[in-house]
Chains A and B, each alone.
Chain A
Amino acid sequence: MATFILSRLEMVWFLVAGVLLVLNGVRAVDRSNFKTCDQSSFCKRMRTMGLDQSPYRAILETLELSDSRLTLQLINDNNKVRLLLELYRLQGNMTRLKINELKPLRSRFEVPDVLVGEPPTKPLSMVSRDEAGVVLSLGTDAHQLVLNARPFRLDIVEGARVLLSVNGRGLLAFEHLRPRKDTLSKISSTVGSMWDSIKNMFSSNTQKDSEGEETTEGAQEEGEEREEEEPGMWEETFKSHVDSKPNGPSSISLDFSLPGVEHVYGIPEHAENLRLKTTDKGDPYRLYNLDVFQYELYNPMALYGAVPVLLSHNAQRTMGIFWLNAAETWVDISANTAGKTLSGKVLDHAQVPSDAPQTDVRWFSESGIIDVFIMLGPKPSDVFTQYASLTGTQSFPPLSTLGYHQCRWNYNDQEDVRAVDAGFDEHDIPYDFIWLDIEHTDGKRYFTWDAANFPQPRDMLRGLQDKRRKMVAIVDPHIKVDSGYRIHNEIRSRNLYVKDKDGGNYEGWCWPGTAGYPDFTDPEMRAWWASMFAYDKYEGSMENLYTWNDMNEPSVFNGPEVTMHKDAIHGTWEHRDVHNLYGLYVQMATAEGLIQRSGGVERPFVLTRAFFAGSQRYGAVWTGDNAAEWGHLKISIPMCLSLGLVGISFCGADVGGFFKNPGPELLVRWYQTGAYQPFFRAHAHLDTPRREPWLFGPQNTALIRDAVRQRYALLPYWYQLFYHAHRTGEPVMRPLWVEYPQDVATFTIDDQFLLGRHLLVHPVTEQGSQGVSVYLPGVGEVWYDAHTFRRHDGDQNLFVPVTLSSIPVFQRGGSIIPRKVRIRRSSTCMENDPYTLYVALSPQGTADGEIYIDDGHTFNYDRQKQFIHRRLTFANSSLSSSNLSADSQFTTASWIERVLILGGQEPSAVTLRTADGSRSLEFEFDAATSVLTIHKPGVNAGSDWTVLLQ
Chain B
Amino acid sequence: MFRLQVFLIVSLGAALGAAVEVQRPRGVPLEKRHFYDESRPFTCLDGSRTIPFDRVNDDYCDCKDGSDEPGTAACPNGSFHCTNAGFRATFIPSSRINDGVCDCCDTTDEYNSGVSCQNTCRELGQKERETLEKMAEITREGFLLKRQLIEEAKQGLQEKQGKLSELQASRKEHEEKVDALRTVKETAEQPEREAKERHLKAWEAQKAALQLEKEKAKMAEVFLELDGDADGLVSVSELQTHQELDPDGDGALTDTEAQGLLSGADKVDSAGFQNVWSNIKDKYVSEVRGPSCLLLKSGETDFWLEVSVHSYPEDDAGDEEDDEEEDDDDDVPEEYDDKVTCHRCRPMCATCSSLPESLEKEISFDFGPSAEFAYLYSQCYELTTNEYIYRLCPFNRVSQKPKYGGSETNLGSWGSWNGPEGSKYSIMKYDHGTGCWQGPNRSTTVKLTCGKETAVLSTSEPSRCEYLMEFSTPAICQEPPSLETVAPETDPHDEF
Contact = CB atoms under 8 A, between A and B. Distances in A.
Interface stretch (A48-56, A152-160, A682-690, A793-801): A682-690
Contacts of B338: none
A829 B76 contact: no
Interface in A162-221: none
A825 B95 contact: yes
B404 interface: no
B408 to A, nearest CB: 15
B441 to A, nearest CB: 12
A897 B438 CA distance: 53
A919 interface: no
B95 A822 contact: yes
A757 interface: no
B74 A935 contact: no
Contacts of B466: 689-690
Given A687-B464, A824-B95, A897-B60, A467 B101 contact: yes
B461 A412 contact: yes
A5 B76 contact: no
B270 to A, nearest CB: 58
A292 interface: no
B95 A823 contact: yes
Interface in B364-397: 386
B60 A935 contact: yes
Nearest to B72: A822
B464 A468 contact: no
A821 interface: yes
Nearest to B465: A687
Sort chain B's interface into a size bin: 20 to 34
B74 A822 contact: yes
Contact of B99 (A412, A416, A825): A825
Interface string B423-460: 00000000000001111100000000000000000001
Majority secondary structure of chain A interface residues (helix, strand, loop or mixed): loop
Contacts of A428: 93, 95
Contacts of B439: 687
B1 interface: yes
Nearest to A685: B464
Contact of B438 (A452, A687, A833, A898): A687
B100 A829 contact: yes
Interface string A447-482: 000001000000000000011100000000000000
B463 interface: yes
Interface string B94-135: 011011111000000000010000000000000000000000
B268 interface: no
Among B60, B74, B99, chain A packs the most CB atoms within 10 A around the CB of B99
Contacts of B475: none
Given A688-B463, A829-B101, A24 B438 contact: yes
Given A689-B463, A821-B76, A936-B60, A24 B437 contact: yes
Contacts of B99: 468, 824-825, 829-830
A938 interface: yes
A821 B464 CA distance: 38
Interface string A23-66: 11000000000000000000000000000000000000000000
B2 interface: yes
A828 interface: yes
A791 B113 CA distance: 39
A746 B440 CA distance: 45
B104 to A, nearest CB: 14
Nearest to B73: A822
Contact of B463 (A11, A452, A466, A690): A690
Contacts of B313: none
Nearest to B439: A687
B462 interface: yes
B43 to A, nearest CB: 18
Contacts of A5: 438
A525 B466 CA distance: 42
Given A468-B99, A468-B101, A687 B436 contact: yes
Given A452-B386, A686-B464, A822 B100 contact: no
Interface residues on A, range: 35 or more
Contacts of B60: 897-898, 935-936
Contacts of A824: 73, 95-96, 99
A832 B436 CA distance: 49
Contacts of A416: 460, 462
A821 B99 CA distance: 14
A757 to B, nearest CB: 28
Contacts of A686: 464
A23 B438 CA distance: 9
Interface in A767-825: 821-825
A863 interface: no
* Residue from A8, A11, A428, A824 whose CB has the most chain B CB atoms within 10 Å: A824
Contacts of B386: 452
Interface string A406-423: 000000100010000000
Nearest to A686: B464
B463 A825 contact: no
Nearest to B437: A8
Nearest to A466: B101
Interface in A67-84: none
A895 interface: yes
Contact of B2 (A828, A898, A938): A938
A452 B73 CA distance: 41
Nearest to B92: A425
Nearest to A936: B60
A940 interface: yes
A467 B102 CA distance: 8
A416 B101 CA distance: 21
Nearest to B74: A822
A689 B464 contact: yes
B216 to A, nearest CB: 54
Contacts of A8: 437
Nearest to A409: B464
Interface string A5-26: 1001001000000000001100
B464 A822 contact: no
Interface in A415-438: 416, 428
Interface in A817-858: 821-825, 828-833
Contact of B100 (A468, A687, A823, A938): A468
A742 B98 CA distance: 49
Nearest to B386: A452
Contacts of A452: 386
A936 B2 CA distance: 11
A689 to B, nearest CB: 5
A569 B99 CA distance: 53
B309 to A, nearest CB: 36
B371 to A, nearest CB: 33
A14 to B, nearest CB: 13
B100 A828 contact: yes
Nearest to A831: B100
Given A687-B439, A689-B440, A895 B96 contact: no
B460 A895 contact: no
Contacts of B465: 687
Interface in B59-87: 60, 73-74, 76
Given A466-B102, A822-B76, A822-B95, 12 more contacts: A412-B461, A416-B462, A468-B99, A686-B464, A687-B437, A689-B440, A690-B463, A824-B73, A825-B101, A829-B95, A832-B113, A940-B1
25 contacts: A23-B438, A412-B461, A416-B460, A416-B462, A687-B436, A687-B438, A687-B439, A687-B464, A687-B465, A688-B464, A689-B466, A690-B466, A821-B76, A822-B73, A822-B76, A823-B76, A825-B99, A828-B100, A832-B98, A895-B1, A895-B2, A897-B60, A935-B60, A938-B1, A940-B1
Interface of A: 5, 8, 11, 23-24, 412, 416, 428, 452, 466-468, 686-690, 821-825, 828-833, 895, 897-898, 935-936, 938, 940
List 9 tightest A-B contacts by C-beta distance, closest first: A829-B99, A690-B463, A689-B463, A687-B439, A687-B464, A936-B60, A824-B99, A824-B95, A822-B73
